[in-house]
Chains A and B, each alone.
Chain A
Amino acid sequence: MAIRAEHLTFVYNQGTALEQKALDDVSFEIPDGQFVGVIGHTGSGKSTLIQHLNGLIKPTSGKIYYNGEDIYGEGYSLKTLRSKVGLVFQYPEHQLFEVDVISDVCYGPRNLGLSPEEARQRAEEALRLVGMKEKYWQQSPFELSGGQKRRVAIAGVLAMNPDVLILDEPTAGLDPRGRDEILDEVKELHKKRGMTILLVSHSMEDMARYAQRLLVMNHGRKAFDGTPKEVFEHYKELESMGLAAPQVTYIAHALRERGLAVEEDITTVEEARDAILRLFGKE
């Protein structure tokens, strides 16, 4: 039980005309090593939710526990928490500021009080993890391409050695190839290092492919919580929230309506391929 949220409620600009309820009584528990997807329409409270988990936003009411400890409890160090729960913001490349890539990645570990040598070692490791080649390390981060900048920014969070990695739409604005590469790297982190991953995304295909569990947010409330297959069964309700199921799910449903015996819970292209091949009698 790595992260537990209990009855989180958050109100923006409380007591003014601009008051807005961003989160409304949200509770959940994320065990160690799970890959969780968070989906929801724009303004559904996803970003607000994830900023609660490393103590950047204090809930108006409700509690957050990390490894059983209340993060707003007496004497709990938020700085330590932030090194354990790494948060990669949307467009993280906008936070780059150093003269070269390696110093930028060192920023996080240095803030944790590590020596320059240790920080550098961690930075190198993190840069390798995100697949940044050594020849880029001494370059200015502003000379890199969009996808590379983003990797550097993600490495900047990874260099802090977090146990939990939260990514807010890490693929926004990237080309399809850059997108797949980044997501595959995230998957590697989950598999090889056993990191707990929270991924916010608008792509249902990505969710079906990578996530073990989906949290669906709607108007600040938790609408669904289950495996992608369970959640995408409610595709009609998802549509009313401005979301959808993966496209292949629709194809599978259309095939079933025409009387073909494919499974109902198809969510990835690979599953659809197997099901259709089976229909043709080929395994």
Chain B
Amino acid sequence: MIRDITIGQYYPVDSVLHRLDPRTKLFGTMAFIVSLFLADHILSYVVATVFLAVAIRMSRVPLSFMVRGLKAIVFLLLISVSFNLFLTDGEEIFHIWILRVTKEGVRMAGFMAVRLIYLVVGSSIMTLTTTPNQLTDGLEKSLGFLKKVKVPVHEIAMMMSIALRFIPILVEETDKIMKAQMARGADFESGGLIQKAKSMVPLLVPLFISAFRRATDLAMAMEARCYHGGEGRTKMKPLRYAPRDRVAYAAFAVYLAAMVGTRVLV
């Protein structure tokens, strides 16, 4: 159940995507997300689908694993789809009571659903093929110029990597506490909304306590090893672009051109 959340999880296999420089994947994913919001024609979505399918294939991560990550956004998906479906003005197809479904609404809702799903799958590809450490390294290096204007890039990157690193730990912890409370007869599934929210208290209180405990432990362990921020800190594996990163950038450029092309020309 709770283990199904795959966002932020690393999938350890060896593939071309795994070997890419994290910066390439980071910029690529950003470009992909932006391109999704540019797209407003069915053809653009075909291009995006093909691109995504190739990326999934190349990552060698089973599709089922990525799709499982979608369960986490089902609720969000439902809300945004129904909003678009019922609240868009235009040519009416049919209506039930006060809910009007229009041609434009169906179109918008469909696009919205595809966008959200691709957004999650696209960013899952990045996190599934990049270890949190690589990801932070990539972020830190690409945003390094912000240090000049006194943005604590290293600290932010460190916080992010710790946050990402803790997702699976907290998921596991949640699973454990859930089981412990279920062993005491807790029921997290049945009941109405209020009942369900109430049943979360025995889960959330221990979870928060454990998160804080882990945070203080980690802070202590880092300080014990003389961590004092980014100043003068060197890297064991400095990031360097390889030829395959150039190829990847070229692929992204072609993809973006295709996306812009479908928007401008069609």
Contacts and interface: CB of A to CB of B under 8 A. Distances in A.
A32 B177 CA distance: 28
A232 interface: no
Contacts of B179: 51, 56, 89
B192 interface: no
Contacts, number: 64
Interface size class of B (residues with CB under 8 A): 20 to 34
Nearest to B173: A94
Given A17-B13, A51-B179, A160 B206 contact: no
Interface residues of A, number: 27
A151 to B, nearest CB: 15
A157 B65 contact: no
Interface in B184-221: 184-187, 201-202, 205-206, 209-210
A56 B188 CA distance: 13
B183 interface: yes
Contacts of B184: 82, 95, 107-108, 111, 156-157, 160
A56 B202 contact: no
Contacts of A96: 206
A79 interface: yes
Interface in A16-48: 16-18
A156 B182 CA distance: 12
A130 interface: no
A82 B182 contact: yes
Interface in A72-131: 79, 82-83, 86-89, 92, 94-97, 107-108, 111-112
A97 B183 contact: no
B62 interface: yes
5 contacts: A16-B11, A92-B180, A94-B177, A97-B201, A107-B186
Interface of B: 11-13, 62, 64-65, 176-177, 179-187, 201-202, 205-206, 209-210
